[in-house]
Structure 1
Amino acid sequence: MSSIEDIYARIPDFANDVRVNLTSLVADETLSPQRKYGLLLASAAATRNATLVAAIESDASHVMPPAAIAAAKAAASVEAMNNIYYRFAHLVSAPEYKTMPPRLRMDVTGNPGVDKSDFELWSLAVSVINGCGACIDAHEMTLRAAGVDSGAIHTAVRFAAITQSVAIAIDTPGSARPQAMG
């Protein structure tokens, strides 16, 4: 089973800054382990990088119960849908689309199986990766109303940015690091 340690080894030398940034995320102690690994897992799922998802899920399983792992994945999947829909509604010029009901099932947002602020933070990170301004605003406002401070919100955005950069670095063609000969 792959782990985040294996991911470090896959990050090519041209992306050393990415490797250092990933190290800082894993070492972050400002967030609870569940919040931290949930951010990593939801963000990895949003990148659609199966290698990265598997590695993070492997490590997350040591600090998160199965329900929390499922919730992080649910945040990524429901936000993938919401981000497309609400980005369209926000960007389209025709005003009638803004008044139409979305008719999208998203029951998990009301009962995610984890603390609601964790789920919202994970959803924010996914929305940042997917580039939905309307969803970013909605999640940020919900988090602030729940008492989550701007430092934690900023950290979630950093997690999203760095996780996305890791996914790109390990999947860039011809970027495999040379392996030591033994």
Structure 2
Amino acid sequence: MSIEQLKDQIPDFAKDVRLNLSSMASDETLSPQAKYGLFVACAIATRNPMVMAAFEAVAAAQLSATALAAAKSAAAIMAMNNVYYRFVHLASNKEYATMPARLRMNVIANPGVDKADFELWSLAVSAINGCGTCIDAHEKVLQEAAVPAASIQTAVRFAAIIQSVAVAIEAAGVTVALAAE
């Protein structure tokens, strides 16, 4: 499924989402690897099979196998970290913040791709998953790496658009079976 086909699944009540998806697809603010890896990581974070399939199909032609795997790794590791660190942040008992996480996160140190790209993907997924602690941590690393604020904002904007695509499709009652057509 292409992004154009995905756009066709977005109902009229979400016309703005469709327009935002179009503008996102043509946006050249980020490098191709950053952009297409972001598409994959954010699509996975939506947990919508149709959205995942469409964005992975588009990205597969633009990313190396290593970059594609790294984008998937960003989504997977943030799925774990966002739950854990959101709990630590929100729990009234602050003792949890003093305890070791005991979660393996080696991919963050060695993602196999440009560290800034991986951090952008992690930040965007953290925004979708609503983990303020992770958002702050990844944004700080990006600032220290001299990633422009406009690039950081673009990554989060793309995350918002991709999430809204998934929500609009689900709200319209479009099923995964349609993706096979």
TM (norm. structure 2) is 0.94
**Residue of structure 1 in register with 2:11 after alignment:** 12
Q: What is the Cα deviation at residue 173 of structure 1?
A: 3.9
**Residue of structure 1 in register with 2:53 after alignment:** 54
Do residues 85 (structure 1) and 77 (structure 2) align? no
CA displacement, residues 4-41 of structure 1 (integer Å, 9 cap, x when unaligned): 11101101111110000000110001111111111111
CA displacement, residues 67-120 of structure 1 (integer Å, 9 cap, x when unaligned): 111111100000010000101111111121110000001111111111000000
Give the distance between the partners of 1:117 and 1:14, measured in 2 at CA: 36
Change (3 A) 1:174 1:99: closer
Give the distance between the partners of 1:44 and 1:115, measured in 2 at CA: 20
Would you say the 8 A contact 1:169–1:175 is kept in 2? no
**Residue of structure 2 in register with 1:160 after alignment:** 159
Unmatched 5+ stretches in structure 1: 177-182
SS in 2 for 1:101: coil
Give the distance between the partners of 1:141 and 1:30, measured in 2 at CA: 20
**Residue of structure 2 in register with 1:180 after alignment:** none
Unmatched 5+ stretches in structure 2: 176-181
Would you say the 8 A contact 1:86–1:135 is kept in 2? yes
Would you say the 8 A contact 2:11–2:172 is kept in 1? no
Q: What is the Cα deviation at residue 174 of structure 1?
A: 4.1
**Residue of structure 2 in register with 1:41 after alignment:** 40
Give the distance between the partners of 1:131 and 1:160, measured in 2 at CA: 11
TM (norm. structure 1) is 0.93
Please give the residue correspondences for 1:105-124 in structure 2 after superposition, counting only pairs within 5 Å. 105-124=104-123
Aligned residue identity for 1:24:
S
Would you say the 8 A contact 1:12–1:175 is kept in 2? no
Aligned residue identity for 1:48:
R
Give the distance between the partners of 1:91 and 1:158, measured in 2 at CA: 25
Aligned residue identity for 2:122:
S
Give the distance between the partners of 1:150 and 1:174, measured in 2 at CA: 37
Change (3 A) 1:18 1:94: same
Aligned residues between the structures? 175
SS in 2 for 1:93: coil
